[in-house]
Amino acid sequence: MQLKIVPPPLTISSLALATVMLGPACDAAVEITVHVEVPAAPGVCGDGALQPGEECDDDIDNGPGARCLADCMLNVCGDGDVGPEEECDDGAGNGDTAACKLDCTFNVCGDGLVGPMEGCDDANEVDDDACNNECVAASCGDGVVQAPEACDDGDSDDSDLCTSACLAAACGDGFVQPDNGEGCDDGDDNADDGDCTLSCEPATCGDGLLHTAGSGAEACDLGPANGTGSDCSGACTLDVCGDGYVGGGEACDDGNTLDGDGCVADCTMETCGNGVIDAGEQCDDGKDGDWFDECTDWCTGPTCGDGLAHWALGEACDPGPNNEELGPCTPACQMAWCGDGYLWAGVEACDEGVNNGPEGACDSDCTLPLCGNGEIDPLEECDDANDDNDDGCTDSCRFPMCGDGIEQAGEECDGGPSNADWYECTKSCHVAACGDGLLWVGEEACDDGNTLDGDLCNADCTVPLRVFVTSATYTGDLGGVEGAAAKCQERAEAAGLGGIWRAWIATPTSPVWLHIDDSWYGYARVDGVEIGASLGGLFDGTIDAPIVVDEWGHTLGQFAVWTGMNANLSPAAENCAGWTMPTTTGRVGRTTATDAKWVDTGAANASSCASKRRLYCFEQQPE
C-alpha cells in the first residue's frame, strides 16, 4: 500500500492535508482520501503581517521613533514617543502652554502661544508693541517706547529728559532737568512768589515776579522796568528820594538829601535861573532875559560858537555849530573876507592871510597863481607865458632838466620818472650801454664798467660759466657721475658761489659732453681768468689757462684730478668702475697743465682708486 499526501481541494487559513493510501494487494486501485486538519501557527506583532488587534506591523522597523511602535500601535501625537513628522511629544504633558504643544510642535516665540520662559507672545514681529520680538512683555526702563509710555531711555536718571517712570521731563515733576531748561523744580511747591517759580527758574530780583515766600523779601519787582526812573529800584526795594535810584516822579537822586550839588533834597534838579551857581553852571543871573550880558539865560558865559553874536565881545556873527573855516562866519565869529587866512569855500580859491600877494602861493585877490600867466609865482622857476618846451622854460614853469620827461639838447633820452640806472634811459639821461657800469636789467647779465674779457664780465656784458678745482680730495668711489656732481655742488655751496655745478668726469656710458652744459659766453676760473670760449673749444686738447684755483679763490699747486678721459676727452677704460669702486684705477689730469694733460696724463699714470684726488667742477647754465 502506498501513502499519498495530496493537498486539500481548498486552501484555508488552517492547513489541511489529504493522505491517500493505496493497497498493493488489491487488484484494483482503491483510493482513500483522508482529510487531516492541522491548526495554523498563531500570528505575532513584528512578523510583518497585520493581525487582528494590530494597528500596524512594519516587521523589524517597529519601535520607538518609528511610524509603528513596538506594540504594533501607530505612533500618534500624545503617546509620549516622538514619531515621524513630530518635533516633540511629552505625552500627557503636551499643552499649548507647555514646551511641547498639543500638535507635537515646539512652543516658540512668535507662535501666538505663551510658552515656558515667555512673558507674552503676540505672534508678530513688531518690536515696539506690548510684547517685543523676544516675547518679553513691555516694561518701563526697557529702552523701548510702548503705550502708555511717553518715553523710555532705559535708565533711572530723573534729571534727563525722560524720568524713571517713563514720563517726559516737565516743569513741576519735582526733578531738576537742566536739559529741559530748568534751574530748579520743587514740584507742587513751585510758585511765582516762592524760591522756584512756576517756570522752574530760581526767583531773582528783576524777573518781574514778587518773591515774598520762602527766602523771598522783595518789596517790588517790575522786571526790566526796575531801576532808574522806576518806582522799584534795581534791588527790588520801593523807590525813595535819597536812595541813589532815580525813581518815578524824581528828576534826580544822588543818594543824599543835600542842596547845592545839582540835586536838591526833594530829588528835583537845581535849575538854571535860581540865582545860585549850581554844579555844571558857569553863572546864574536868574534868567533876566538878557542874552547878551555877561551870563546867558543858559547859565553859561558868552563865548564864540554859542550861537549868540555878542557885540560887546567883538563878535560880528555867530551861527553856533555852523561856524567853520569854509563858511561865511569864521571860527573866530568874524565875517569871512579875502586875507583873513580862512578859505571861504565857493568864493575864494585860496587865502593865505597876510601872505597873499605876488610872491605868495595865493594872489592878493584870493585866486591861485597859474603857470603861464607871465609872472613867476611861488613854486615856479620861470614863466614865459607860453607852452614852448625848447626856449629855456618848460610849459610847467620849470627850467629844463634831466628827468622832466622832455628830451633837451645834450640829453640822449628822457623818460621822466621812469629814468633809472637799471633801465634803457639812465638817471643821467643817457641811453644804457654795455660798459657804462650800470646793469641794464633784462638786457645785460653784468656790467663792470669796461669792455674787457677775463674779469668774470665779458666785453659784451655777458657772464662766463665758472670753473674751479676742489680744495677737498676724494677716492675713486665717488658714487658715480651723479655722486661726483653732488660733491661739486657741496663745495660750491660751502663757498657761497650759488648756481648749479657738475664734475668734469666721464664713464663709457656718460661721456663729459652728455652732462656738462655748453657755455654761450665761455668758461672762466672763479678768479675771472678765462680757460675757454666754449665747450667745443675745450675739445682741441688745450685750455687758455690752468685750472689751479679752488672754490674759495685760492691758487693751488700741481695736483692730480680725477677725469676718466683720454686726451681727446673720450671716456677712458680706467674709471674706477664707473667711479663706484676704490679697488681699480682711474685716469687723472694735472691742475697746472694747459695742454691735453689737463685731462689725461696717460694710461701709465692712471691712479689707484684708493688714493685721494681732486675734481674739476663746472658751473651749468641757469635753469
Q: Would the pLDDT of 279 be above 70? A: yes
Any idea what the Cα angle at residue 59 is, between residues 54 and 63, rounded to 5°? 80
Bigger pLDDT: 178 vs 450: 178
In this predicted structure, what is the pLDDT of residue 15?
38
In this predicted structure, what is the pLDDT of residue 496?
97
β-pairing, 588-590 vs 523-525, is unpaired
Going by pLDDT thresholds of 50, 70 and 90, the confidence category of residue 10 is very low
Going by pLDDT thresholds of 50, 70 and 90, the confidence category of residue 320 is confident
Q: What is the pLDDT of residues 446-501, one digit of tens each?
A: 887 777 766 678 777 878 899 999 999 999 999 999 999 999 999 999 999 999 99
Q: What is the pLDDT of residues 553-601, one digit of tens each?
A: 999 999 999 999 999 999 999 999 999 999 899 999 999 999 999 999 9
CATH number of 465-619: 3.10.100.10
Q: Which residues of 7-37 are buried (b: 16+ CB within 10 A; e: fewer)?
A: eeeeeeeeeeeeeeeeeeeeeeeeeeeeeee
- How far does the chain reach from its first CA to its final CA, in angstroms? 144
Check: CB of residue 20 under 8 Å from CB of residue 31: yes
> Looking at 52-66, 289-303, 395-409, 594-608, which range is the least confident one?
289-303
Going by pLDDT thresholds of 50, 70 and 90, the confidence category of residue 18 is very low
Average pLDDT over residues 147-153: 88
Q: What is the pLDDT of residues 238-259, one digit of tens each?
A: 878 887 788 777 888 888 888 7
* Residue tagged 527790588 (cell numbers): 236
Going by pLDDT thresholds of 50, 70 and 90, the confidence category of residue 519 is confident
In this predicted structure, what is the pLDDT of residue 41?
59
User: What is the Cα–Cα distance from 611 to 475, expressed in whole angstroms?
Assistant: 5
In this predicted structure, what is the pLDDT of residue 5?
44
Q: What is the pLDDT of residues 445-456, one digit of tens each?
A: 788 777 776 667
Bigger pLDDT: 33 vs 359: 359
In this predicted structure, what is the pLDDT of residue 575?
97
Query: Which part of the chain has CATH 3.10.100.10?
Result: 465-619
Q: Would the pLDDT of 229 be above 80? A: no
